Amino acid sequence: MSVLMRSYRFPFEAMRQELEKMVTDEFPFFGWSPSEAAYPPVNVYEKEDSIMLEFEAAGMKIEDTELTITGGSVTLKVKRAVEGDIPPEKYYVRERLRGEFGRTVTVPGTVDSTKATAAYKNGILAVRIPKAEEARAKRVAVNVEEESGEQPRIESKEGRK
């Protein structure tokens, strides 16, 4: 029974796998090829008082996930389940990743890993790690002494935020 008439990448799963092994170049019609990129992709954001990491991992099971923070390294290990009963020949399209994946991201500065929090929502794992007290940028008021004379007046400026 032909269910799909177009919109799939390759007609046969085995052929797709073979081709994927052979072709190391980026697939021109698929922006992000799962087998080439590190999984899961991560975005890191920095704020004044914290570091935020977002892992894009749809369909992840919390019980199959391990998140560890050691010093300034954040490691995420994900085991992605395979639908056991379904033989490969029953697939028309089979793009979702299977197997075990891991990412280690080094975050800048000194963080307080004991106060890290993580939440998983809509397939995005968000990890917030507060910066260690001493690593936070401090506001320093700079006093510039005024001198009478020909020197230009210097406005006092605050330190970096």
Binding site for another protein (CB under 8 A): 1-8, 30-32, 34, 37-38, 41-48, 50, 52, 54, 56-60, 83, 86, 90-97, 105, 108, 120, 122-124
Say what the alpha-carbon torsion angle 104, 105, 111, 114 is, to the nearest 10 degrees: -30
- Distance in Å, CB of 12 to another protein, minimum: 13
Comparison of 37 and 144: residue with beta carbon closer to another protein:
37
Comparison of 71 and 108: residue with beta carbon closer to another protein:
108
3-state secondary structure of 157: coil
Task: Return the sign of the alpha-carbon dihedral for residues 114, 130, 119, 105.
Answer: negative
Comparison of 26 and 146: residue with beta carbon closer to another protein:
26
- Distance in Å, CB of 140 to another protein, minimum: 21
Number of other residues whose CB lies within 10 A of the CB of residue 96: 12
Q: How buried is 57 (Cβ within 10 angstroms: 0-12 exposed, 13-18 middle, 19+ buried)?
A: buried
Beta bridge partners of 141: 158
| Under 8 Å between Cβ of 26 and 20 | no
3-state secondary structure of 120: strand
- Distance in Å, CB of 70 to another protein, minimum: 18
- Distance in Å, CB of 156 to another protein, minimum: 26
Comparison of 89 and 155: residue with beta carbon closer to another protein:
89
- Distance in Å, CB of 36 to another protein, minimum: 13
Comparison of 31 and 152: residue with beta carbon closer to another protein:
31
